[in-house]
Amino acid sequence: MTEDTPRTDSAVSNSVRKGNPLLEVNDLQVHFMLEEGTVRAVDGVSFDMPAGRVLGVVGESGCGKSVLARSIMRIVRPPGEVVGGEIIYHRPSRNGGSPDVIDLNQLPLNGPEIREIRGSEITLVFQEPMVSFSPVHTIAQQIIEGILLHQDVNKAEARNRAIEMLRRVGIPNPEVRIDEYPFNLSGGMRQRCMIAMALSGNPNMLIADEPTTALDVTTQAQILELMSELQQEYGMAMMLITHNLGVVAQMAEEVIVMYLGKIVEHTDVRTLFKEPKHPYTQELLKSIPRLRRQRQTDRLTAIAGSVPSPYVRPKGCPFHPRCPKFMPGVCDELEPQLTEVGGRHMVSCLLYSEDAKKVSSGAGNG
């Protein structure tokens, strides 16, 4: 499929080409109001999701990746609440005209318009399918329900489509397996069924939240290869949330690195691995296991310290208590902003801030 070739399914017209913005997230803020305090799970996140591309989202546990995914789907559970920002969806026109521009944050939470988009045009593959699937309903009941909700077909046609999608994701004997309960299937097969459910509506965008969690290495490779093939075949955008930088290198075209609810670096995948700018990204890359270690006794590099408590966020740069390039009087006082350091390479670090350089030089003169 070339960049100028539109998808042929009925859900998408040629009004949104590969590379054009499909989703724009502007200053998104998601807070959890708890008795212990307010947790800013997503704190002013902004990025574009191009149509037909793969965006990787990486960071340690607790940095806000999954909350970001749920915010786009509008399924953040209380006490979580989107308190600010925009999620602009460029909805492809069905008649070939210009895309409809919709702020998903302005739609009623369970209104008909967001329900039409959620699960059909924008879908989510959850981390753990054993928890995400209902244990008291068969795979057939759960996939067919979504097809009937979003497509103008009868139950027999919906079943046939579900069987065909299960076959497409590599489920053997899908005519039999479709009537199984989730607990009768292996972890890899449950994840394939989850992917089949997500793709049954021919989505414009797929969000995969740690899609290979708790799977063995061989099954992980199979699932990732399957997702890559399907993404290219369907021409959909995909947001891949993962801890595994190797997966990002293999599948993503652009990457955003998150820390404590903020984006600290955003660039293309090649630049991220060759020229990482943020100290956090550099430390993450150092922690990757390598086959060619000089000595077998060499230990893996670990990032010093741990992610701060969400209730007591450090003043200034949130990474400064762990940063090997910490500048006293600067990093613990000024809050960095995303700064362009070349091309589409954005970094939130005071090492590249003119204001920080002035403060640092002033301190030195004093």
pLDDT in tens, 10-52: 334 444 566 688 999 999 999 999 988 899 999 999 999 999 9
Using one digit for the tens of pLDDT, what is the confidence trace for 86-108? 999 999 877 767 888 999 999 99
In this prediction, residue 12 carries a pLDDT of 42
> Would the pLDDT of 289 be above 60?
yes
- Cα dihedral angle (157, 159, 162, 167), rounded to 10 degrees? -100
Q: What is the mean pLDDT of residues 209-226?
A: 83
* For helices 217-234 and 187-199, angle between their N-to-C axes, nearest 10 degrees: 10
- What single DSSP character describes residue 53? -
355 or 308, which is more confident? 308
Round to whole Å and give the CA distance between 194 and 188. Answer: 10
> Would the pLDDT of 298 be above 70?
no
Q: What percent of the chain has pLDDT over 70?
A: 87
> Would the pLDDT of 80 be above 80?
yes
Q: What is the mean pLDDT of residues 172-183?
A: 94
Give the predicted TM-score (pTM) of the model: 0.86
Position 356 confidence tier, pLDDT thresholds 50, 70, 90: low
- What single DSSP character describes residue 18? T
Round to whole Å and give the CA distance between 288 and 244. Answer: 9
In this prediction, residue 292 carries a pLDDT of 62
> Would the pLDDT of 165 be above 80?
yes
